[in-house]
Amino acid sequence: MEYKAKIVSVDDNRLNLLLIESMLESMNVSIASFTDPKTALKYIRENPADIILTDYMMPVMDGVTFIKHVREADSDIPVVMVTAVDDDDNVKIAALQAGAYDFLYKPLKLYEFQVRIKNLLNMRKNQLLLKDRAALLQSEVFAATKQIEQREFESLSIIGRASEYKDMETGNHIKRVAHYCRELAKDLGLDDEYIRTLFYSAPLHDIGKIGIPDNILLKPSRLTDAEFVIMQQHTVIGHGILIEADGKYLKMGAEIAISHHERWDGGGYPGKLSGEDIPLSGRIVAISDVFDALMSKRPYKDKWSIGETIAYIQNNSGKMFDPALTDSFNRLHDVFQDILKSYDDSQE
């Protein structure tokens, strides 16, 4: 069905309205006529219109005031003021300032009137097409951005999985660590952007293990001192893999890789950093990683009880861990246990 343009016509004189209606009769438009500008405004607010024709001299509200109200509701609908030739120029200027597009002069001449309306309708059509195009482009850009973001997360989780592939830690371990980290960051009141970045980069903490020889990485018994020195290199290797990256997730991943085995008291590795010299992301991953390791069964150790784990973390407040984070952990260990249950290793 062909689109029928809608014209709203306002004049306190009913005869003028009838004249306009008859002049538009041969054109493919629908017309809503009003003698009262207030009723017309109410109609315009509720019904889309393509052109508005308004008289200037009206008892309840003059044409300029009417146009101002129309502009409050719709910023670009074409409005034409129908006015007497000898009307004051100031009125015309005021009408243009209020947002009138054009003037028509009484008495209206049929042919000129129809041509002007036709031109305005064309302009309106292009206006709407442009708007549609802009909206379409915007939604396309939005969808494309979402897709890129999803791909980025996909790549991140694949990199994370690759690192754990030959490790004895499980895929659920890195998922759980990401969730603990998010809870801790929320408890610290960090901003959403940081929390989100941390959530997606925490799984990269042990990516450097892909550079550790299997006989050390997979050794089921205690490492010798020499082996442990090599094992510690996973922090530096991980950092080296990620440091060239430009993206915020990989950048934070690099920071976490090199700092998640540092200790608050300076006794960690590889940098022997202490206190707030250790990046916050690394401190958050450190406590999350240890919690999960203690609560999991490993070839060389049994699962600890939650009581033993809480006690261990408390005893290490200010030693291994940032005291602010052990405080957060105290508030959160129920939540941590829920996370542990929802990503249970037996479901792997």
Residues that bind Fe ion (CB under 5 A): 206, 289
Per the listing, tokens 């129908």 go with 82
How far apart are alpha carbons 181 and 216 in whole angstroms?
A: 28
Least Å distance, CB 338 to Fe ion, is 19
Amino acid (one-letter) located at 298: R
Smaller CB distance to Fe ion: residue 124 or 182?
Answer: 182
When the beta carbons of 11 and 206 are compared against Fe ion, the nearer one is 206
How far apart, in whole angstroms, are the C-alpha atoms of residue 287 and residue 275? 14
Task: Give the DSSP per-residue string, 241-268.
Answer: HHTT--SHHHHHHHHHHHHTT--TTS--
Sheet containing 29-34, strands listed edge to edge, beginning at the edge strand earlier in sequence:
29-34, 5-10, 51-55, 79-84, 102-106
CB atoms near residue 249 (< 10 Å) = 22
Minimum CB separation of residue 301 from Fe ion in Å reads 14
Degrees to nearest 5, angle at CA 152 with 146 and 157 = 130
Residue 106 belongs to what H/E stretch? strand 102-106
Helix (H) or strand (E) holding 9: strand 5-10
Tokens in use for 313? 């973390």
Q: How far is the CB of 165 from Fe ion (least distance, A)?
A: 14
Task: Work out how close the CB of 261 gets to Fe ion at its nearest, in angstroms, rounded to a whole number.
Answer: 6
**With respect to Fe ion, which residue has the nearer C-beta, 127 or 232?**
232
335, 327, 202, 238: CA torsion to nearest 10: -140
Taking the C-alpha atoms of residue 148 and residue 159, their distance in angstroms, rounded to an integer, is 16
Residue 67 or residue 285: which is nearer to Fe ion going by CB?
A: 285
Using DSSP's 3-state secondary structure scheme, residue 51 falls into: strand
Q: Minimum distance between the CB of residue 232 and Fe ion, rounded to whole angstroms?
A: 9
Least distance CB 142 / Fe ion (angstroms): 36
Q: Could you report how far apart the first and last alpha carbons of the chain are, in Å?
A: 58
Q: How far is the CB of 234 from Fe ion (least distance, A)?
A: 6
Q: Which CB sits closer to Fe ion, 206 or 322?
A: 206
